[in-house]
C-alpha cells in the first residue's frame, strides 16, 4: 500500500507541482547560455533559472516511483538533489540537451532513495541488483507461467539471463519483495509475551572486558609516548606526521619540509619505527603482552 500524505502536505506538494509546470521551457540557445554562465562564471542566478525550468522533469520522474510507497515530497526532494548534481557536472559544449543529461541523475537519485528506504533490509548496491529490484515486477508480468504468487524455475532463469544476474540473486530479491519488514518487538506467537528481541544475543563486551581494554590502551599510549621521546626531533616529526595523523603526510611532502629527498624520509621513518619497536620490547617480556592486562 502506498504512502498517503496528510492534507497539508498534499496541498504543499500540489502548489509545488503547479508552480513547476508553469515554468517556461528553455530554448537550446538559452539553456546553453545559462549553463555556460553557471559553469564559467559561477552565476547563481543562471543556475536558479536553469534548475527552475527543469523541476517539471523531477516531478514527472517522481510520479513513476510512487508505487514504492514513499512520500511524493521526499521523492521530489531527492530528485532535486540529482538535478543539482547534474547542473554541477553538465558540460554545455558537448552539445547534449540539459534535460537529457539531468534525467539520468534525477532517476539515479530517486532509485538510491527508494533502495535506502523501501525496506529496513539492505536491498541491493550493485548496478545489477538495482536493475533487478526495479525490473523484477515488470518482467514477471511479461513472462508466461509467472502469473501465480511465485515464479517457477524457468521464469527465474529467464529473468536472470535478461538482467545478467545470478539465479540465486533473482530468488533472493523475489523473497525480499514478497515479504514485509517485521518489528523485533513483535511477539513470537499470539499467545506469548516474549518478543523476538528477547532471543537476540548481546554481542557487546562485558564490563570487565571494557575496563581491561581501557587499561591496555592507556598502557600502550604511555609506552608509545616514551618511545617517541627517545627519537631525534626529525624522526619525531616524521612519525607524528606519517603515522599519528588520520591523513598522514606523503614522503614527498615531508621531504620538502625537512629539506631531504623522499627516499631519505623513507629511510628515517624505517629507522624510527625500529627504535620504537626496541623501546617497547624493553618494557615487556613478550609482544603479546601489549594485549594483556599488566
What is the pLDDT averaged over residues 223-229? 87
Which secondary-structure segment (H or E) carries 93? none
The answer on pLDDT for 270 being more than 90 is yes
Tell me how far apart the alpha carbons of residues 288 and 285 are, in angstroms, rounded to a whole number: 9
The pLDDT tens digits of the residues spanning 87-135 come to: 999 998 888 999 999 999 998 888 888 877 765 444 455 666 667 676 6
Grid cell 530528485 — which residue?
A: 79
Strand pairing partners for 195? 187
Statement: the pTM of the whole predicted model exceeds 0.85 = no
Cβ atoms within 10 Å, residue 280:
17
In the chain, the N- to C-terminal Cα span, in Å, equals: 60
The pLDDT tens digits of the residues spanning 135-185 come to: 666 676 666 544 445 667 777 777 777 777 777 777 766 666 655 545 556
For the chain, percent of residues with pLDDT exceeding 70: 73
Amino acid at each position: 500500500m502506498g504512502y498517503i500524505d496528510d492534507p497539508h502536505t498534499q496541498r504543499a506538494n500540489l502548489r509545488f507541482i503547479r508552480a513547476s509546470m508553469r515554468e517556461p521551457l528553455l530554448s537550446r540557445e538559452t539553456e546553453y547560455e545559462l549553463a555556460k554562465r553557471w559553469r564559467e562564471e559561477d552565476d547563481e542566478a543562471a543556475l536558479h533559472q536553469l534548475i527552475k525550468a527543469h523541476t517539471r522533469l523531477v516531478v514527472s520522474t517522481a510520479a513513476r516511483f510512487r508505487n514504492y510507497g514513499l512520500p511524493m515530497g521526499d521523492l521530489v526532494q531527492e530528485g532535486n538533489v540529482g538535478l543539482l548534481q547534474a547542473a554541477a557536472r553538465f558540460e554545455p559544449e558537448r552539445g547534449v540537451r540539459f534535460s537529457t543529461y539531468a534525467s539520468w541523475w534525477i532517476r539515479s537519485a530517486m532509485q538510491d532513495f527508494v533502495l535506502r528506504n523501501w525496506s529496513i533490509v539492505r536491498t541491493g548496491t550493485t548496478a545489477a541488483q538495482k536493475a533487478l529490484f526495479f525490473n523484477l515486477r515488470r518482467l514477471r508480468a511479461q513472462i508466461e507461467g509467472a502469473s501465480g504468487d511465485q515464479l517457477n524455475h524457468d521464469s527465474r532463469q529467464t529473468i536472470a539471463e535478461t538482467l545478467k544476474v545470478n539465479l540465486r540473486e533473482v530468488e533472493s530479491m523475489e523473497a525480499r519483495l514478497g515479504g514485509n519488514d517485521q518489528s523485533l518487538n513483535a511477539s513470537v506467537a499470539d499467545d506469548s509475551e516474549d518478543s523476538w528481541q528477547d532471543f537476540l544475543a548481546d554481542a557487546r563486551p562485558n564490563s570487565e572486558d571494557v575496563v581491561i581494554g581501557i587499561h591496555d590502551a592507556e598502557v600502550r599510549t604511555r609506552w608509545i609516548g616514551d618511545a617517541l621521546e627517545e627519537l631525534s626531533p626529525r624522526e619525531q616529526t616524521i612519525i607524528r606526521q606519517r603515522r599519528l595523523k588520520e591523513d598522514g603526510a606523503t614522503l614527498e611532502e615531508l621531504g620538502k619540509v625537512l629539506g631531504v629527498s623522499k627516499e631519505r624520509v623513507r629511510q628515517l621513518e624505517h629507522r624510527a619505527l625500529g627504535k620504537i619497536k626496541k623501546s617497547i620490547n624493553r618494557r615487556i617480556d613478550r609482544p603479546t603482552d601489549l594485549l594483556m592486562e599488566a
